[in-house]
Structure 1
Amino acid sequence: MALHGKIVTTLELKSSAEKFYKVWRSESFHVPKHASKHIQGVDVHAGDWETAGSIRIWQYTIVKAMEGSPREEVSFDDENRIITINGLEGDIMKLYKVYKPIWKFTPKGSGCLAKLTLEYEKLHPDVPVPEIYVDLIVHMTKDIDEALSMDS
């Protein structure tokens, strides 16, 4: 069984690529407001809300018994509207040597396509593929899209 892999999924969103990218690029402090079922808070640990290399700490709930507060470093590719998050520590990093969600937002009509690629490397073969984290990110993305499309 391979220790590393990636999961790729694409969502069609009502919000524009620019609007959605902006939330992740410089306004991620709004994410708990838009996706409160899943994200309870986010704080900057180092850097700020807009600088690549800044470190953010998230408070989330996947299911009642599974909560976490990972520390992650964020980077941006403004030209291609790509956000990359590298897991640094927290509950996720007790299971995975590499935890790296990557969003790419591509315009499509008045909305966009949000392609999520989650690259991972398990610490040992018994660790599950991180599908539960992909589900969290997908639900969070849909909640944010709903909130943003209501703001339009």
Structure 2
Amino acid sequence: MSLCGKLEKDVPIRASASKFHEMFHKKPHHICNCSTDKIHGVELQEGEWGQVGSIICWKYFHEGKHKIAKEIVEHVDEENNSITFKVIEGDLTEHYKDFRFTIKCIPKEKGSVIHWVLEYEKLHDKIPDSHTLLQFCVDVSKDIDKQLSAN
């Protein structure tokens, strides 16, 4: 069993790619208003919203537990509506040596597709691949879409 893994999933949504990208890029602190049962808080700890190198702390509820992830904004591509977060502290570091979330928002004729990529390196081979976390990201995307499509 490999210690390195990569999971990907496309989520079709009604909202525009630019609006969805803006939510993660410039307004992640608003996500807790869209997905109240999953995201309980998002705080900027260092830097500015949307800037590479900024540090964000996510408080979330996953697999029946309250969890925290401190992440650094590693890469932003505004032209292609893409952003990458690297986990630097929190619950995920108990199982993973390295963990990254990349969100790419692809415009379509109607709505858009959100392409999630979770890349990670496990601390040992007994840790399962993070399919439940990928599904969590899909569910949060759908919650955000409901909010953005209602406006």
**Coarse TM-score class (shorter-chain normalised):** over 0.9
Number of aligned residue pairs = 150
Scaled by the length of structure 2, the TM-score of the pair is 0.96
Question: What amino acid is the match of 2:88?
Answer: L
Q: Distance in 2 between matches of 1:143 and 1:112?
A: 15
C-alpha offsets along residues 55-75 of structure 1, whole Å, 9 cap, x if unaligned?
Answer: 0000000133x2211100113
Report the equivalent of 2:79: 79
Unmatched 5+ residue regions in structure 1?
Answer: none
Question: What amino acid is the match of 2:5?
Answer: G
Report the equivalent of 1:126: 126
Please give the root-mean-square deviation of Cα atoms over the aligned residues, in Å.
0.9
Question: What amino acid is the match of 2:138?
Answer: V
Unmatched 5+ residue regions in structure 2?
Answer: none
Q: Distance in 1 between matches of 2:50 and 2:86?
A: 16
Q: CA deviation at 1:85?
A: 0.7
Helix, strand or coil for the counterpart of 2:8?
strand
Report the equivalent of 1:25: 25
How do 1:2-151 residues align onto structure 2 when only pairs under 5 Å count? 2-64=2-64, 66-74=65-73, 75-151=75-151
C-alpha offsets along residues 9-60 of structure 1, whole Å, 9 cap, x if unaligned?
Answer: 1010100001101111101110000111100000011112121111000000
Runs of 4+ residues over 6 Å off in structure 1: none
